Amino acid sequence: MTQEMVRQFLLGCTLVNYGVLLVWFFVLVVARDGVRRLHGRWFRLSEEQFDALHYGAMAVYKIGILLFNLVPWVVMTFLGR
């Protein structure tokens, strides 16, 4: 793989992962009660625990996107010039 291919791959991964994060957010905004009921079948979570769990998980996912996709893409873009 060339450096340009890796750079394009990282950009694609960044866009797809931010898309997943946005879908996750909008599903929780639009259908929060349905998602909570679905998770309530498997786990005993209060509303506060449910909100904190999803908020924390989205934060960890976002940090992962930044560290493993976006930052390497930015570095490769600047080093390639």
pLDDT on residue 19: 98
| The residue type at 72 | P
Tell me which residue range forms the domain holding 29: 3-79
Number of domains forming the structure of the chain: 1
Tell me the residue ranges of DSSP E strands in the chain: none
How many CA atoms are closer than 13 Å to the CA of 42, on its beta-carbon side?
A: 5
pLDDT on residue 81: 73
pLDDT in tens, 5-64: 999 999 999 999 999 999 999 999 999 999 999 999 999 999 999 999 999 999 999 999
pLDDT on residue 1: 84
